[in-house]
């Protein structure tokens, strides 16, 4: 038992498993599920001034590129071209852009413009990351302290003559071509497009401990000097907590900073350095209590519990600051019918259920397999593609003769096209190509271009054209009638009656898809020695070698057909993969399925040795096939990989099967623990925005490696490059350790930020 625990920990459970915060679902330039509404600023997930300004201006530009957006530009028009909700940095950046483009717009602000910044503590230093970034729209941030920043921003607002309207917007409703902004008071405002720039204006997160309601507990620090001489506890591990601690110590306050984790990784490097130096200085003004959490707040004391030893300590205290962040205003989005990441409504479950049922039918039809406890699909649910082939072959004239003659290309295709799997593979390949081209256009990095073309080529050539057209066509033209050709075909594609082309050309998938993903060249009544040799070299020699150098993603992100679909069709669904420790435990399911495949293989080999009448052969052919859960073909191949793997695609991302259940991935995870592949992180650039973690469709908590400067080595990684590509500050790079354990970076650039930096230098 102990061994299994240690094994599970070594393979999967030791890696960080942070969750992804709930935010409105926004695509490129803040696009949402409601036409005409874009989300900008902090709500896009990157809580920095420059990004807020950048996203605000970009959203207005994106509206202008939409063909449906027809601005009137008439200041007298009752309908606004653009309504901007929120007068923070992103809202004012959007307004400046709208002014520049001569649009008819208005900004609606519930408090006063830049209220978030006005609420920063007095004299708070301002960090303007990334230093090289120049936000779209030209807003600048040159100030070094809060008061100067407010003046600088006000000046830019006045320059563009922006006068926000004082109103709180409660929700947005779409009616026909127009959007109605419902105010807390008065008539709704009508607009053609809406920019939502309301920042993190939701509730402050709660400590959920006794005493939290006391007057001495605050969520925001205004003037540090008010607390001079007092004993203050700050709870939190982000920039707000770190900056408040620094400001209070400088104002002569005795500060205790409590954070539940073992290391301060989220604040900016300058803040971390300052905290470390203050906490180690001899005047003992700052006590840094890592791995602790408050359990009770009394009038003159607080109780802190150590997360390591579970022991409690009571410390004298006058004031508590709970600086553990604010919730995004999710209710605003729900009222406005804007989708929120992770929200699962009735329509979510109904839609997914219907698609799973469709996949249930599709994979039984495609595989010609009986439904457990029911039997074969009825005729009305089982359209026969052979009818089309027959019709083509019965055409009169020259064309008909081409279809009738199997030695012509048309003749071969018409025979291949008499099975459902031909249409399935054709549609699969077409989807990979169409969505692959879209991915290349959307993501625009050299890595993605080369990777996607490779995936498309592997899918179309060896996984479709080769088995469905080239191999059978060669066969019909006598290539396998004698000599080496005959040996090759007899070894790899035995003759059969059931296949319209006369041989099992589908086995050619085995040239690309390795055991145990493609188990059917191994689970045969008699050993197919050719496949056993080719497959063993693939699974036990080639895969370990390529994984050692490039990681598991060399196969899962560059070759495998399931990976091809997940990276193309699944590209826009990656953020739907659930994260967190519970889901990470499910990563071990694949190990169970791998063990099942190995057990079946052993039974199969014993059956080969003991003969077809042996118990082992009976178990394999009869026993296991009668019980759906023991029938590998039905349970693993059809139900887990097909029905659930694809059925959950648009609801839980395209990598459910790959992450949790694929037995080949389970084997490769073991190889990957010995890999030199890493995703390296330049720690000082990381702003702990969590964007990388949120786009990882293998559920990896990449931020928790990056903000500690640790190379990412979770074996689940499929090298999709989404984290590297999406990181706003270019922290991450693919690479590997050389023999001396020095990082060697990939030549193909996967980060647009790094590419821009390289192009400039
Ligand atoms: C303590 C603290 C320190 C920070 N330090 C830095 C730093 O040093 N460097 C840095 O780059 N970034 C820093 N940031 C982050 C930065 O402040 C934000 O990224 C930026 O302010 C976000 O701008 P925004 O326009 O998205 O939202 P906000 O600035 O929050 O603006 C949202 C506006 O919308 C208004 N509003 C909300 N709801 C409604 C409604 N329903 N109707 C009408 N109006 C509404 C609000 O009143 C507010 O004025 C810090 C943030 C905090 C909290
Ligand atoms: S996890 Fe399995 S199915 Fe997915 S890409 Fe890798 S090998 Fe293919
Ligand atoms: S490349 Fe990044 S996003 Fe893709 S699987 Fe690996 S860690 Fe996740
Ligand atoms: S590495 Fe991740 S957390 Fe750090 S800046 Fe990049 S996306 Fe944000």
State whether the beta carbon of 698 lies less than 6 angstroms from ligand 3.
yes
* Residue 369 main-chain phi, psi, to 5 deg: -100, 145
User: Which pLDDT does position 362 carry in this prediction?
Assistant: 96
User: Ligand 3 center to residue 417 CA distance, Å?
Assistant: 37
User: Which pLDDT does position 281 carry in this prediction?
Assistant: 82
Given a cut of 70, whether residue 321 has pLDDT beyond it is yes
Other CB atoms within 10 Å distance of the CB of residue 359: 20
User: Ligand 4 center to residue 46 CA distance, Å?
Assistant: 9
| Residues 247 and 121 sit within 8 Å (Cβ to Cβ) | yes
**Mean pLDDT value across residues 642-670:** 97
Q: 28-196 falls under which CATH superfamily?
A: FAD/NAD(P)-binding domain (3.50.50.60)
Angstrom distances, CA of residue 180 to CA of 184, 289, 420: 13, 50, 49
User: Which pLDDT does position 127 carry in this prediction?
Assistant: 83
CA distance 317 to 235: 13
The token pair that represents 201 in the structure block: 């204006």
The token pair that represents 356 in the structure block: 């799973």
In the chain, domain spans: 28-196, 217-322, 674-760
Q: What is the pLDDT of residues 562-610, one digit of tens each?
A: 999 999 999 999 999 999 999 999 999 999 999 999 999 999 999 999 9
Given a cut of 90, whether residue 545 has pLDDT beyond it is yes
CA distance 195 to 332: 13
Ligand 3 atom 5: residue of nearest CA: 717
Other CB atoms within 10 Å distance of the CB of residue 584: 22
* Residue to mutate (ligand 1; options 24, 88, 202; most atoms within 8 A of CB): 88
* Residue to mutate (ligand 4; options 706, 723, 726; most atoms within 8 A of CB): 706
**Mean pLDDT value across residues 195-203:** 88
Same fold, 28-196 and 674-760: no
Given a cut of 80, whether residue 650 has pLDDT beyond it is yes
Q: Which atom number of ligand 1 is nearest to the Cα of residue 108?
A: 43
CATH fold for domain 217-322: FAD/NAD(P)-binding domain (3.50.50)
- Give me the chain's average pLDDT, please: 94
Q: What is the pLDDT of residues 25-78, one digit of tens each?
A: 998 899 999 999 999 999 998 889 999 999 999 999 999 999 999 999 999 999
Given a cut of 80, whether residue 761 has pLDDT beyond it is no
Kindly provide the ipTM of the predicted complex, given to two decimals.
0.94
The token pair that represents 213 in the structure block: 């309601």
The token pair that represents 355 in the structure block: 């698609």
Contacts of 187 (CB under 8 A, 6+ apart): none
Angstrom distances, CA of residue 456 to CA of 392, 598, 717: 29, 31, 20
State whether the beta carbon of 565 lies less than 6 angstroms from ligand 2.
no
| Residues 168 and 184 sit within 8 Å (Cβ to Cβ) | yes
User: Which pLDDT does position 100 carry in this prediction?
Assistant: 97
Q: Which atom number of ligand 1 is nearest to the Cα of residue 329?
A: 38
The neighbouring-strand residues paired with 517 are: none
**Mean pLDDT value across residues 351-373:** 94
Angstrom distances, CA of residue 446 to CA of 441, 443, 646, 683, 721: 11, 9, 29, 24, 11
State whether the beta carbon of 304 lies less than 6 angstroms from ligand 4.
no
Q: What is the pLDDT of residues 84-137, one digit of tens each?
A: 999 999 999 999 999 999 999 999 999 999 999 998 888 888 888 787 889 999
User: Ligand 3 center to residue 439 CA distance, Å?
Assistant: 16
CA angle 69, 72, 78 (to 5 degrees): 110
Ligand 3 atom 6: residue of nearest CA: 717
User: Which pLDDT does position 635 carry in this prediction?
Assistant: 92
- Of 244-258, 301-315, 385-399, 617-631, least confident by mean pLDDT is 617-631
CA distance 534 to 537: 5
CA distance 655 to 556: 10
Which CATH code fits 674-760? 3.30.70.20
Cis peptide upstream of residue 408 (ω within 30 degrees of 0): no
**Mean pLDDT value across residues 476-492:** 96
Ligand 3 atom 4: residue of nearest CA: 720
Confidence grade of residue 542 (pLDDT, cut at 50, 70, 90): very high
User: Which pLDDT does position 1 carry in this prediction?
Assistant: 65
What helix, strand, coil percent values describe the chain, rounded to 5? 50, 15, 40
**Mean pLDDT value across residues 258-268:** 89
State whether the beta carbon of 694 lies less than 6 angstroms from ligand 3.
no
Regarding predicted confidence, which is higher, 76 or 761? 76
3-state secondary structure (DSSP) of residue 404: helix
What whole-number percentage of the chain has pLDDT above 90?
82
Given a cut of 80, whether residue 259 has pLDDT beyond it is yes
- Of 14-23, 57-66, 427-436, 538-547, least confident by mean pLDDT is 14-23
Q: Which atom number of ligand 4 is nearest to the Cα of residue 702?
A: 2
Given a cut of 90, whether residue 630 has pLDDT beyond it is no
Confidence grade of residue 399 (pLDDT, cut at 50, 70, 90): confident
- Counting runs of H as helices and runs of E as strands, what totals does the chain give? 33, 18
């Amino acid at each position: 038992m102990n061994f299994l625990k240690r094994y599970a920990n070594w393979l999967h459970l030791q890696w960080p498993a942070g969750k992804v915060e709930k935010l409105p679902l926004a695509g490129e330039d803040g696009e949402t599920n409601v036409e005409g509404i874009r989300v900008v600023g902090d709500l896009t997930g990157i809580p920095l001034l420059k990004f807020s300004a950048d996203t605000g201006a970009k959203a207005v530009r994106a509206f202008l590129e939409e063909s449906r957006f027809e601005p009137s530009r008439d200041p007298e028009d009752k309908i606004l071209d653009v309504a901007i909700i929120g007068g923070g940095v992103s809202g004012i950046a959007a307004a400046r852009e709208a002014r520049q483009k001569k649009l008819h717009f208005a900004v609606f602000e519930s408090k006063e413009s830049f209220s978030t910044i006005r609420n920063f503590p007095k004299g708070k230093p301002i960090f303007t990351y990334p230093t090289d970034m120049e936000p779209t729209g030209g807003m600048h941030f040159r100030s070094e302290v809060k008061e100067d920043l407010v003046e600088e921003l006000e000046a830019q607002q006045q320059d563009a003559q922006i006068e926000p309207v004082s109103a709180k917007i409660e929700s947005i409703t779409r009616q026909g071509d127009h959007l109605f902004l419902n105010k807390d008071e008065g008539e709704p405002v009508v607009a053609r497009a809406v920019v939502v720039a309301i920042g993190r204006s939701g509730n402050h997160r709660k400590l959920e401990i006794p005493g939290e309601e006391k007057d001495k507990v605050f969520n925001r620090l205004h003037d540090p000097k008010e607390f001079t001489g007092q004993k203050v506890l700050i709870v939190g591990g982000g920039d707000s907590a770190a900056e408040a601690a620094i400001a209070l110590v400088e104002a002569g306050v005795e500060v205790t900073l409590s954070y539940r984790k073992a290391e301060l990784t989220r604040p900016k490097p300058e803040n971390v350095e300052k905290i470390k130096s203050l906490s180690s200085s001899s005047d003992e003004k700052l006590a840094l209590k890592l791995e602790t959490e408050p359990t009770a707040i009394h009038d003159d004391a607080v109780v802190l519990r150590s997360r390591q030893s579970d022991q409690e300590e009571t410390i004298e205290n006058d004031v508590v600051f709970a600086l553990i962040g604010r919730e995004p205003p999710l209710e605003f989005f729900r009222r406005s019918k804007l989708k929120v990441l992770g929200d699962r409504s009735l329509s979510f479950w109904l839609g997914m259920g219907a698609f799973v049922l469709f996949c249930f039918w599709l994979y039984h039809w495609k595989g010609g397999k009986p439904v457990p406890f029911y039997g074969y699909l009825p005729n009305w649910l089982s359209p026969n593609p052979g009818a089309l082939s027959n019709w083509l072959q019965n055409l009169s004239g020259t064309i008909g003769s081409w279809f009738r003659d199997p030695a012509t290309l048309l003749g071969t295709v018409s025979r291949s096209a008499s099975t459902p799997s031909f249409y399935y593979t054709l549609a699969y390949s077409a989807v990979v190509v169409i969505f692959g081209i879209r991915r290349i256009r959307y993501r625009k990095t050299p890595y993605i271009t080369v990777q996607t073309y490779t995936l498309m080529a592997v899918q179309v050539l060896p996984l479709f054209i080769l088995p469905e057209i080239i191999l059978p066509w060669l066969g019909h033209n006598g290539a396998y009638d004698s000599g080496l050709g005959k040996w090759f075909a007899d070894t790899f594609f035995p003759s059969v009656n059931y296949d319209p082309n006369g041989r099992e050309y589908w086995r050619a998938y085995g040239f690309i898809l390795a055991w145990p993903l493609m188990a059917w060249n191994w689970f045969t009544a008699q050993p197919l020695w050719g496949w056993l040799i080719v497959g063993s070299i693939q699974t036990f020699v080639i895969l370990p070698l390529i994984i050692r150098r490039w990681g598991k993603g060399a196969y899962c992100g560059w070759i495998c057909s399931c990976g091809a679909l997940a990276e193309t069709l699944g590209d826009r669904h990656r953020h739907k993969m659930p994260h967190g420790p519970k889901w990470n435990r499910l990563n071990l399911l694949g190990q169970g399925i791998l063990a099942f495949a190995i057990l079946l293989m052993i039974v199969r080999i014993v059956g080969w040795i003991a003969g077809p009448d042996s118990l082992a052969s009976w178990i394999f052919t009869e026993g296991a096939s009668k019980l759906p859960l023991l029938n590998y073909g039905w349970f693993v191949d059809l139900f887990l990989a097909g029905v659930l793997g694809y059925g959950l695609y648009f609801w839980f991302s395209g990598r459910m099967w790959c992450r949790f259940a694929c037995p080949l991935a389970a084997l490769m995870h073991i190889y990957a623990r010995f890999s030199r592949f890493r995703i390296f992180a330049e720690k000082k650039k990381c702003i702990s925005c969590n964007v990388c973690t949120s786009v990882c469709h293998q559920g990896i908590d990449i931020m928790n490696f990056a903000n500690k400067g640790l190379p990412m080595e979770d074996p689940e990684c499929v090298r999709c490059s989404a984290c590297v590509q999406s990181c706003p500050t270019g922290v991450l790079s693919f690479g590997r350790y050389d023999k001396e354990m020095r990082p060697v970076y990939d030549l193909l650039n996967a980060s647009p930020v790094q590419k821009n930096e390289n192009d400039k230098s």
